[in-house]
Amino acid sequence: MADENTVFIGKKNVMSYVLAVVTQFNSGAKEVVIKARGKVISRAVDVAEIVRNRFVNDAKISNVKITTEELTSEDGSKGNVSAIEISLTRP
């Protein structure tokens, strides 16, 4: 899985990320992985669903992985954050 087929979800609006995923499929990608952590996990799910339902109708959700990542903040304290990886695949 090359990194150019991964879309990281941040604080931009949902359609920016939808466009990023659709562009990768239109460039010939067979799989695009949408990654997010923390509060923007729900946005990652929105992106996957909008791509699949409105733009790339033959794309399927082939895998959803949820994990915990350890973060170290600037003051050195550690915390955990949940993360999600949604794989969209087209035939």
Q: In the set 31, 61, 89, 90, which binds its own copies (CB under 8 A)?
A: 61
Tell me the site size for its own copies, rule CB under 8 A: 21
From CA 23, how far away is CA 19, in angstroms rounded? Answer: 6
Per CB under 8 A, 26 contacts its own copies: no
Per CB under 8 A, 68 contacts its own copies: yes
Contact 14, 47 (CB under 8 A): yes
Residue 33 or 40: which CB sits closer to its own copies?
A: 40
From CA 41, how far away is CA 48, in angstroms rounded? Answer: 11
Q: Which residues neighbour 4 within 8 Å (Cβ) at sequence distance 6 or greater?
A: 24
Q: Which residues of the chain form contacts with its own copies (CB under 8 A)?
A: 38-42, 45-46, 48-49, 53, 61, 64-68, 80, 82-84, 86
